[in-house]
Structures are given as C-alpha cells and as structure tokens.
Chains A and B, each alone.
Chain A
Amino acid sequence: MTTRAEAIARLGSCPDTVRPGLAYAVGDFAPDDAEGVAALFHTVYGDTYPLDAYYIPETIRRLCGQGELIPVVARLEGGEVIGFTALYKASPPFPGLMEFGLGLVHPAYRGSFVLFHLFSAMMARLEALPGVEAVFGEAVCDTIITQHASSLFGFHETALELGLMREKEPGAGRGACLVMFRNVRDRRRVLHHTACCAGHLGRLVAGAGLDRELVLVDGGDTDAGPTRIATQLFPSAGVLRANVFSLGKDREAELVKIEQQAWAEGCQVCQMYLDASLPGPAAAVPLLRRAGYGFGGLIPRWFDSDALLLQKLLDPPRAELINLYSASAEALLAMALESGGEA
C-alpha cells in the first residue's frame, strides 16, 4: 500500500509537462488517467488536499472500479489530465444519491472553458450512469457563484445548512451551505411532515420537480418500532449529524442524548436528518423545534426516501456572511432563521 506521503513525494518528483493554450478533449475516466488525476490534484492543491485517495493512483482506480467515484476528465493530446470533475459517494445513507462538488482545472488552463466542458459532459451522462438516482451539492454561501453555476446546470436549492465552519478562515464566523439537488430518476414517494413545515415543503418539493404525497402526521404520533439513529461526526466542520431512521416511544430521551453527544464532542452544530418515509421521525419535528431546532429544509433521497433537516446551533449564524443567489434561497434562509429563533 502506498501512503499519502509516498504518493506526494513521487508526485513532487515528476515534472509538470502541461503547456498552456493547447487543444483538449473531455471524456470518461479511463484507468490510465489515474496518474494524471493525482498529478492534477498535486499541482492544484500541493500537499494540502484533505483526502489521501486523490494522491494515490491505485486508490483512484479502485474507487472508480467500485462506482464510488465517477469522474469526467479533460486531457491534452499527450494524455496529460488538465481538468477533473466527479460524482462521489459521500455521507448519504442511500448510495444512489451522489455528491457533486469537485472541479479542478490545471492553473495553465484557468480562465478557460475547461470546467464548463467538464460539467456539461457530466450532466449529459447522468441519465446513463447505472445506480445514480439523484445528485446533490453543497454550495458554500461565501459567494453566490457556485450556487448560480449549480442552478444553471439544473440543480435546485432544497435546504440550507447553517453554521458550517468555513475551513479557509477559522475564526471568521460561521456561514452556511446551500444544499442543491438534481433529480435523475425518481418516483412518487410519501413525505411525512407536521403542520409547522407544510407550506415550506410544498414549495421545496415543487421547486425540485419532485412528485411527493405529503402526508400530515400528528406531532403526538409515534411508531411502536425501534429507535434507530446513526451519528456522523465532522470535527473539522464542528458538526454532529444524526441520521434518524426511525423513532419509537423513547424518542425524546434518545434525541436529547444525541444533542448532548454533539456538545460533548465540541461541536457547534447539531443536525438531525429525519427519514420522512416514516411517520415517527417526522412526528418529532415539533418536539425538536421546541428544543430550539430550526427547520433547514428537505434533503431529497438522502435515505433513498427524503430527509427533513432540523438543526440547532450553539451560536446564532451570522446572516451577513450568507450570500444567496435567488429569492427562493433567501426564503430558505428566512425559514431557517425564523424557526431557529423559537429557542
């Protein structure tokens, strides 16, 4: 096994043969591109990219072979990789929901249309990719450029994650990420919810072009089933995320336990992703709101079925750091702040 350090040392010893202004072609990743992809990551990020995988060609090939990573690359005639974008399996429990959020261009080709051609090629392939049912991206709200570009490629904002740490400038305060969703293939599903978010949900579902049967549950309803919650900790972002698959009679105590875990781990944000295909998790929304959680929106297909996002922040988000590109994104922010303000 190659280590990150070995891989980076090897990449550092290879001369960069990319010359500017040459013709390029965009195509599917081939196993022989792995070395070029690793070289591109090294050229663009030096040794600072947080994930080891992209520095190690064998790992890139393995991830692609397993369908964990689906890249499109831009190559020069000599085979050098000058641009890279990919869908990747990230944190959603549903493997058919892939994340889109990587786009690299060699510095010699910045200011060119390479990224446009990469993104266009990826979007043109979506329908034909086996197992890919939906795609989402998280646009950091420092600027509106990413949001706008995403919307131009058919993504629709469905949720706003508040208070994510901006890694570039620690201490600069906490902004937000706009969750943008693009459907690939879907069918009518049941979306359980409580009265407090009914109006917002109708708008989000319509905006994302989804066919949903909105089923109202009484906040007092609970499943007799087991409580099943899986937590994920993101230390660098200061976030604890709880995937709430089902809630039984012990729901209140279990949810309190999760929140205590978040603060004990030093997190600033506690996120609850509630599986809306079941009445139990959706019925917990009023309970969470009384406990100071805000309704962040809908993450379609998170569990295969959709997730309702509820979030609680130790410190209020700084709205002036949140730049949004559209009226509907502004409405999401208003919704997230308004409901969060009930604490």
Chain B
Amino acid sequence: MSVTAADLKKVFAKAVPADVMAKIDPAQPMAAQGVDSLAITAMAVALQHAYGVTVTPEDGVRLKTLNDVAAWVNTVKAAS
C-alpha cells in the first residue's frame, strides 16, 4: 500500500496546527501555507515513528510539498 497525502495529514495531526492542516494543498509548498520549521520538525519525527524513515539533509532540501513527502516515503520504503 502506498502512502498518500491524505494518510500523511493523519500522521501529522498533532505536528501541525489543525487549522493549518485543514487548508493545506498537497501540491503547493508547505512553507507557503503556514507550516513552520517546528511543525516540519514534528512531521519528520512523526514519519520516523509511523514509517521508520528518516529524512536526510540531502532529501530534505527537495521535499517542498506534501505530495513530495508522500512520494519520498514510498520510494524509501520500497528501497528498504
């Protein structure tokens, strides 16, 4: 089962304020939609807990949108 942006919204429920999360467009950069560094940090830890994947600095600079993150999770999971 591949991970979707909708799955990620559930995983990130506590990482990102609910009002921000509700309005997020998965195709648009998260930073532009009110997701700050602390929220992204919490998201990264949530990814570790939920899928056992860790964002590296190299990966991190490429992950701009929620869709980017979902695709990256699927790639990393497939490779492992």
A64 within 8 Å of B (CB atoms): no
| Given A111-B35, A143-B17, CB of A23 within 8 Å of CB of B57 | yes
Please tell me if the beta carbons of A111 and B41 are within 8 angstroms of each other in the complex.
no
Please encode chain A, from 141 to 180, with 1 for each CB lying within 8 Å of some chain B CB and 0 for all others. 0011110110011000000000000000000000000000
On whether the beta carbons of A117 and B57 are closer than 8 Å, the reply is yes
| B60 closest partner in A (C-beta) | A113
Cβ contact within 8 Å between A149 and B60: no
Q: Is the CB of B37 within 8 A of A114?
A: yes
A149 lies within 8 A of B38 (CB)? yes
Chain B residue numbers with a CB within 8 Å of A50 are none
For chain A residues 113-145, which have a beta carbon within 8 Å of chain B? 113-117, 119-120, 143-145
The residue of chain B having its C-beta at the shortest distance from the C-beta of A25 within the complex is B57
Of A25, A116, A152, most buried by chain B (CB within 10 Å of CB) is A116
**Contact flags (1/0) for B15-59 with A, using CB distance below 8 Å?**
111000000000001111001111111101110010000110111
- Is there an interface contact between A112 and B37, defined as CB atoms closer than 8 Å? yes
Contact A115 B40, beta carbon cutoff 8 Å: yes
Given contact pairs A113-B44, A113-B55, A145-B17, A21 touches B39 in the complex (Cβ within 8 A):
no
Whether a CB of chain A sits under 8 angstroms from the CB of B3 is no
B61 contacts A by Cβ under 8 Å: yes
Interface positions of A from 183 to 228, Cβ below 8 Å from B: none
Q: How far apart are the CA atoms of A306 and B29 in the complex, in Å?
A: 45
Bound-state Cα–Cα, A152 to B59, Å? 21
Residue B14 interfacial (CB < 8 Å)? yes
Is A119's CB under 8 angstroms from B57's CB?
no
Give the total of B residues in contact with A, Cβ under 8 Å.
Answer: 29
A-B contact count (CB 8 A): 83
Q: How far is the CA of A146 from the CA of B37 in the complex (A)?
A: 11
A18 to B55, CA, bound (A): 22
Q: Tell me if B57 and A145 are in contact (CB < 8 A).
A: no
Q: Which residues of B contact A253 (CB under 8 A)?
A: none
Minimal beta-carbon separation of B62 from chain A (angstroms): 9
In the bound complex, residues from chain B placing their C-beta under 8 Å from that of A143 are 17
CB distance from A241 to the nearest CB of B (A): 27
Which of A21, A116, A119, A153 is in CB contact (< 8 Å) with B61?
Answer: A21
Whether a CB of chain B sits under 8 angstroms from the CB of A325 is yes
Q: Report B-chain residues with C-beta under 8 Å of the C-beta of A115.
A: 37-38, 40-41
Given known pairs A103-B37, A149-B42, the reply for A23 and B63 (CB within 8 Å) is: no
> Are B29 and A116 in contact (CB-based, < 8 A)?
no
* Cα-based distance from A31 to B73 in the complex (angstroms): 37
In whole angstroms, how far apart are the Cα atoms of A21 and B57 in the complex?
11
B29 touches A111 (CB 8 A): yes
**Can you list 24 pairs linking A and B with CB atoms under 8 Å apart?**
A23-B58, A24-B61, A103-B37, A110-B37, A111-B29, A111-B37, A113-B60, A113-B63, A116-B45, A117-B55, A117-B60, A120-B44, A120-B54, A144-B14, A144-B17, A145-B15, A145-B36, A148-B14, A148-B15, A149-B15, A149-B38, A149-B42, A152-B42, A153-B45
| List of 9 A-B pairs having minimum Cβ-Cβ separation, nearest first | A111-B31, A113-B60, A152-B45, A116-B44, A115-B37, A116-B41, A149-B42, A115-B41, A105-B37
Report which A residues bind B (CB closer than 8 A).
Answer: 21-26, 74, 103, 105, 109-117, 119-120, 143-146, 148-149, 152-153, 325
17 more CB-based (< 8 A) A-B contacts, given A103-B38, A116-B60: A24-B61, A110-B31, A111-B29, A111-B36, A111-B40, A112-B61, A113-B40, A113-B41, A113-B55, A113-B59, A114-B57, A117-B57, A145-B15, A145-B39, A148-B42, A149-B45, A152-B46
